[in-house]
Amino acid sequence: MSEKSTLDCQRLLCPMPVIRVQDHVATLNPGDVVEAICTDPGVVNDIPAWCRINGHEVVEIREDEDDFIVVVRVGESA
C-alpha cells in the first residue's frame, strides 16, 4: 500500500525545496506519493527537473493562493 505524505517547503528558496523532497523521497518506497507545499515559484521547474534526473514522476503541479504545490510519485529506482 503506497503512502501519501506532505512536506512543508513554504518560505524556502530553491534549491531547499528540492533538497527537502530529495531527502524525504530517500526514506520512501516506490509508488509512495509526496506533496510539497512551496512558495518559491522556481519549484515548478526545479522539482520536475530533479524528478526527471532521478526517475520519479510529477503527478500534479497546482497553485493555491500564495502556494505552489508539486505532487511527486516515487519511482522504481528509489
Interacting residues with another protein (CB under 8 A):
10-11, 13-16, 18-19, 22, 39-42, 44-46, 49-50, 52-54, 66
Is residue 14 part of the annotated active site? The answer reads: yes
- Give the separation between CA 67 and CA 10, rounded to whole angstroms: 8
Q: Measured from the CB atom, is 2 or 27 closer to another protein?
A: 27
Q: Least distance to another protein from the beta carbon of 1, Å?
A: 28
Burial class (CB in 10 A: 0-12, 13-18, 19+), 49: exposed
Active-site annotation, residues: 14
